[in-house]
Amino acid sequence: MADTEKRDVHLVTGAASGIGAAAISLLLADGARVCAADMQTIPLEGIASGDLDRLKTVRCDVSSEADCRRAVKTAVDAFGGLHAVLHFAGIHSVLTWEELDAEELAKLYAVNVIGSFLVAKAAGEHMKSNGGGAIVMTGSGSMNSGGTGGNGRGGPAYTATKGAIIALHRAMARSLGPHGIRVNAVSPGSTTTAMTADYSADALANVARRTALGRIGKAEEVAAVAIFLASDKASYITGEIVNVNGGGSFGI
């Protein structure tokens, strides 16, 4: 990493697996310092091949404001600052509208939408007084397709929360921009993560056929785009959504 890009302290949520775990591996390999946050135990031997002196872990329920503030404080205390947040934490739901109830919908909103706000708020409060920074949230290709649920598709609860995250990230980009804080989003298509682990072989094959590239995405492919958006190379990009879906859909 070039000296001019040494704004290298990253907070990664959803770090125990999937895209978050892939991001940690890529960041450590590039010399960054990482605070890894998750409710689950983070398997360091499985995802952290770099210098563990540059990695700090913290338990974090993103639906808890106190946990989000503690995660930011952990990063700052460990490494002296916080320059970027890669927010991948979220939960899935494949329930159809017939199966869905208000309790399930509220649970999805608490983690996916309120959690995104709380992480951005905690990070933004630090970055506002410390030279700015970058925040990357996570949408989903299901916003484009209108996921109906069932095996191989996010349902209405998941789709609705991911659409809300996109609206939220644009509002936060406007709000935080004057303080030198950029807010962008990645919007993955179907990707090999814990969320797709229970999809049947037929469902995965159908997803692959719906993409221009004819395959499921890899976690590291999404992580790499998020890392770019958080880097100085994307210094004039904010309020944008980058689809990482193999051509599963185009535009927003």
Question: How does residue 250 score in pLDDT terms, banded at 50, 70 and 90?
Answer: low
Say what the pLDDT of residue 108 is.
Answer: 97
* CATH pick for 3-244 out of 3.50.50.60, 3.20.20.70, 3.90.180.10, 3.40.50.720: 3.40.50.720
193, 138 contact by CB (below 8 A): no
Q: In what order do the strands lie in the sheet with 133-138?
A: 55-59, 33-38, 9-13, 84-87, 133-138, 181-188, 241-244
Calpha distance 169→183 (Å, rounded): 6
Q: Which residue has the higher pLDDT, 150 or 241?
A: 241
The arithmetic mean of pLDDT across residues 61-88, rounded, is 98
Q: Which residue has the higher pLDDT, 200 or 140?
A: 140
Calpha distance 95→45 (Å, rounded): 34
Say what the pLDDT of residue 203 is.
Answer: 74
Give the residue numbers annotated as catalytic, written as ranges: 158
Least confident window among 71-80, 175-184, 200-209: 200-209
Say what the pLDDT of residue 75 is.
Answer: 98
Calpha distance 182→205 (Å, rounded): 37
Say what the pLDDT of residue 3 is.
Answer: 39
Q: In this prediction, what percent of the chain has a pLDDT beyond 70? A: 92
Q: Is 165 helix (H, G, I), strand (E, B) or coil?
A: helix
Question: How does residue 187 score in pLDDT terms, banded at 50, 70 and 90?
Answer: very high
The arithmetic mean of pLDDT across residues 209-233, rounded, is 94
62 pLDDT higher than 80: yes
Q: Which residues contact 53 (CB under 8 A, 6 or more apart)?
A: none
Q: Which residue has the higher pLDDT, 89 or 192?
A: 89
Say what the pLDDT of residue 251 is.
Answer: 53
Domain ranges of the chain: 3-244
Q: Which residues pair with 184 in a beta bridge?
A: 136
